[in-house]
Structure 1
């Protein structure tokens, strides 16, 4: 079976298209005026955590580099910068306000997603036959 990142739709990788749609939806959703009782009562921090967890996970999946520390550092910087800008620009939308705790939830979701992705990637790499062959050769 072909991995999701290799499937192409309209000449672009499906995973990259999914990332673009997700990020645009996230931006739009956070910049609409607050509508009372439009959504079920869910803690705002859980929504922020989940949104940035998903964003960071998609960024990890769509990017590729042998320098993992640099790669994951850039992803964290992009997500955290976007989180700060997102919170700041919400102050210009009627019914919305800037909240430092929302940014903390954004940062927690981002860092947990990167940590989880990196851990699974390392564990998966140790189980793959090419990793064992290279380790036995050295």
Structure 2
């Protein structure tokens, strides 16, 4: 393995740190029992939280692949970001089923998908506008 290949792998490992951090935050929040969560009584606050956190997760997943791959396969990268966010959301809901005072919610999974899809679509739109202008 030459120096360039090794440095690219090291960079890729470092690019996963934000994704792993967001996953850890989601896990820590979902591990709190129902009586530990002191959320204000704002309608749909829980769903907004899911939407925002999973949008952030998708953004960090979009950051992991190399620039070269993001430029050559943006739609594939966006689909993978939504799919991985969705799978993590399912795992998170399963995890919550074992936490006292928490329950599985399909609405939470829908909010997870929504957040990750919106961020991925915005990223694709940004990429297409950037490509039209001829700048990278």
For Structure 1 versus Structure 2, the TM-score category normalised by the shorter chain is: 0.7 to 0.9
Matched residue, 1:47: 49
Q: For structure 1, which runs of at least 5 residues remain unmatched after alignment?
A: 1-10, 131-138
Q: TM-score, normalised by structure 1?
A: 0.75
Count of residues in Structure 1 that have an aligned counterpart in Structure 2: 120
Matched residue, 2:93: 87
Q: What does 1:57-136 correspond to in 2, within 5 Å?
A: 57-64=59-66, 65=69, 66-129=72-135
Matched residue, 1:136: none
Determine the C-alpha separation between the residues in 1 that align with 2:19 and 2:57. 7
Matched residue, 1:3: none
Summarize deviations over 1:32-88 as a string: whole Å, max 9, x none: 212356343441100000010110011112223212222222222111111111112
Determine the C-alpha separation between the residues in 1 that align with 2:50 and 2:75. 25
Q: With a CA cutoff of 8 Å and minimum separation of 6, indicate the structure with the bigger relative contact order.
A: 2
Summarize deviations over 1:90-124 as a string: whole Å, max 9, x none: 11100100011111111110111100011001111
Residue 126 of structure 1 and its aligned partner are, at CA, apart by 1.8
Q: Which moved more, 1:81-90 or 1:17-26?
A: 17-26
Q: For structure 2, which runs of at least 5 residues remain unmatched after alignment?
A: 1-9
> Structure 1 residue 38 and structure 2 residue 38: aligned?
yes
RMSD (Å) for aligned C-alpha atoms: 2.1
